[in-house]
Chain A
Amino acid sequence: MVIIRRVKPLPYWIIPIIALLAGIAISVIILYVLMGASPAAVLSAIVYGFTRPGVVAKTFVALTIVGIALLVSFKGSIWNIGGEGQITFGLMAATWVALFTALPYINPGLAQASMILLAMVAGGVWALLAALPRAYLGLDEVPVTLIMNYIAYYIVDILVRGPWLGKHVYNYIRTDTIPSQVMFPQVPGTTMTWDGLLLLIILLIGVWYLLKNTSIGLRIKILGNNPNLLRSSGISVPLMIIVALTISGIIAGSVGALYLGGDVYRISYPIEVHTANYGYTGILVAWLSMLELIAVPIAAYIVSALYTAGIQYQILVGGHLGQLITAGSAIVDVFIGSILLMYTILITISEYKIRIIVKKR
């Protein structure tokens, strides 16, 4: 096998598409071998996902926002794998506003806005905590952000089982349902909320402006490509690492508020089982977008369709695996893993040619 650099790289959109198809093919084979899932059923679940924009909308909005969030830090070569923890912290902050302040009864609009804003602050703080050892000690941010996801889960678990345990929950361990005033209104015919849609548009424009027209955006991009240039122009590299990761956490945190106000309306114990895993799934969105902001919604649509397909497949055929089983998230993980792996491997062929040469004896 000989690998040669191409004179001209392939157009950048080709790789995600090939990776997607190859990844789906591998997933179908894995599901067939391990679960005996008929490929036709899996494919029809995928078609279902792709052809129901109304159903997919909720996931689409969440994953686009997470994708944007991760894009900001990935642009700076800071691998924020802690979206999940930042979302969980956002969820916690939003729950506090909704359940333990009088705001929902005084001014619902203001309450919804403060849920989202406080969720962003909480997500930002959680990311900042991971950014400090990365910036000043050089501790790899991947294990730190990942391990912090678990810590965030358990902090919320402690609250839900302790002081936040609801009064009207029968024997379930969960918080009370949030007041109807702060349940985000839905866009008719879809599963997404007006709040989510509005936030998505604001964030898309905001991050576009940040990366295109501000010095912070430029510095984050230089951080990703050539940190030595930053250093030699007198800009603090640790500070830029902190800025990139914190902005990423702030944006990701908002998804926690959307998840609470537009989807679950309460936190159930244990959160690590009830999470939607948007923080992990968002990594796939950010990578498939090739770190192009404009491609994030496209990637998010594809991924949310697959996400919905995984859940849908479970509903369709879940029966034969037994009733206790939540294989939906496992199927989503298989999709994510195989597509990402294909993408990581295939990215080579955009710049290199692979030739198999058989040696003659």
Chain B
Amino acid sequence: MPGSIASFIIGVSSIFLAYYLAAVGHGLMEKSGVLNLAIDGVFTLGVAVAFAISVYTFSVPLAIFIAMIVAALFGLMLAFITTKLPISHGAAGLSTMFLGYGLAALVGLPARQLQINGRSLATIQPSLGGTWIWFYVVAFAVAVGVWCLVEKTKIGAAIRAAGENPASAEALGVNVLAVRLFASGVGYALIGIGAALFELAYTQVWSQGAGMGYGWIAFAISLSAGRHPILILISAMIFAVLDKYRFLIAAIYNLPPDVGKMLPFVAAIAAMIIFMVTPLRRKLAPPKSLGKIYFREERSV
């Protein structure tokens, strides 16, 4: 049945790209050694910003652009405070997550009110005019681009050095702060685009709390593929299919629809556990200094 295969490929294209960009952005940031626990809050905020801008201006590119900028600013802030100050990455990330949740609701609610009063939302239809093909092209292009950036360029070497051992990297002339700002800014920009696509190309509805939890799915997608830009293509695809067809899966097995809501989250934990128990964990080990406080002013002798 070629028709159903085509509709399958088109159907998962938007959520695949959204998950892929968020997961690869997250991975890039963590490669530089900044533990990213703010992803869910900023993802939720990105969803709300994209929704609000789309309602206000009826422009999809503008909505994606603003969501990207907002997310990137949060990435820069996180990288700055965790590198410049001797504070816990986890605490900084979680506080930012809550701030993201709150801001998301405040940004989205007035636009939702406008929408109820009759204003419409500009969206992207993956099936229209072959848009879905571009979704896959973008995903593969980003995969190759990020892989080349991390593995083949000087900047990539600096990012990996900052993640493995920032003190030595600094001694060898790498500006750890600049490298982390770059990786986090670009990483969060990708997360922001992912969030915008999640809203405008996939769910296309918004209510308070929309997107909450999906940032953590992206987190699990990235972790279970060892933050490797090419491998994340595979795990993002698995989760995209699961997300798209979860209610169908629940219905096939005659289970309540809430089982469908639960599936991606159960799978996220399962994927992380599988990653930890298999040899993947050693092959794709996390950066050694991930989440460790690096404090330049106070170097141990």
Binding site for B on A (CB under 8 A): 1-5, 30-31, 34-35, 79, 81, 133, 137-139, 142-144, 146-148, 150-151, 154-155, 157-158, 161-162, 272-273, 280, 283, 287, 321-322, 324-327, 329-338, 340-341, 343-345, 347-348, 352
User: Would B102 and A333 count as touching, CB distance under 8 A?
Assistant: yes
Closest Cβ of chain B to A162, distance in Å, is: 5
Given contacts A322-B116, A330-B105, A338-B95, 8 further A-B contacts (CB under 8 A): A3-B85, A143-B37, A143-B268, A147-B213, A148-B269, A157-B261, A331-B102, A340-B98
User: Would A326 and B272 count as touching, CB distance under 8 A?
Assistant: no
Interface of B is mostly: helix
**Residues 185-230 (chain B) with a chain A CB within 8 angstroms:** 208-209, 213, 216, 219-220, 223
Closest Cβ of chain B to A148, distance in Å, is: 7
The one of B88, B220, B262 in contact with A344, judged by C-beta atoms closer than 8 angstroms, is B88
- Taking CB atoms, residues of chain A closer than 8 Å to B32 are none
- Taking CB atoms, residues of chain A closer than 8 Å to B223 are 143
Number of A-B contacts (CB under 8 A): 163
- Does B96 touch A at the CB level, under 8 Å? yes
Closest Cβ of chain A to B118, distance in Å, is: 13
User: Would B92 and A155 count as touching, CB distance under 8 A?
Assistant: no
- Taking CB atoms, residues of chain A closer than 8 Å to B273 are 133, 137, 139
Binding site for A on B (CB under 8 A): 37, 40-41, 81, 84-88, 90-92, 94-107, 109-110, 112-113, 116, 208-209, 213, 216, 219-220, 223, 256, 258-259, 261-262, 265-266, 268-269, 272-273, 276-277, 295, 297-298
- Taking CB atoms, residues of chain A closer than 8 Å to B295 are 3
User: Would B219 and A325 count as touching, CB distance under 8 A?
Assistant: no
- Taking CB atoms, residues of chain A closer than 8 Å to B101 are 330, 333, 337
User: Would B103 and A34 count as touching, CB distance under 8 A?
Assistant: yes
Interface of A is mostly: helix
Q: List 10 A-B contacts (CB under 8 A).
A: A3-B86, A3-B297, A35-B110, A79-B90, A142-B94, A321-B109, A325-B109, A329-B105, A337-B101, A344-B87
User: Would A142 and B90 count as touching, CB distance under 8 A?
Assistant: yes
User: Would A137 and B277 count as touching, CB distance under 8 A?
Assistant: yes
Give CA–CA (A345, B101) in the complex, Å.
Answer: 19
User: Would B265 and A151 count as touching, CB distance under 8 A?
Assistant: yes
Give CA–CA (A133, B85) in the complex, Å.
Answer: 31
Closest to B100 in A: A337
Q: Assuming the A-B contacts A147-B269, A325-B109, are A341 and B96 also in contact, with contact meaning beta carbons closer than 8 angstroms in the complex?
A: yes
Closest Cβ of chain B to A319, distance in Å, is: 12
Q: Assuming the A-B contacts A79-B90, A340-B95, are A139 and B272 also in contact, with contact meaning beta carbons closer than 8 angstroms in the complex?
A: yes
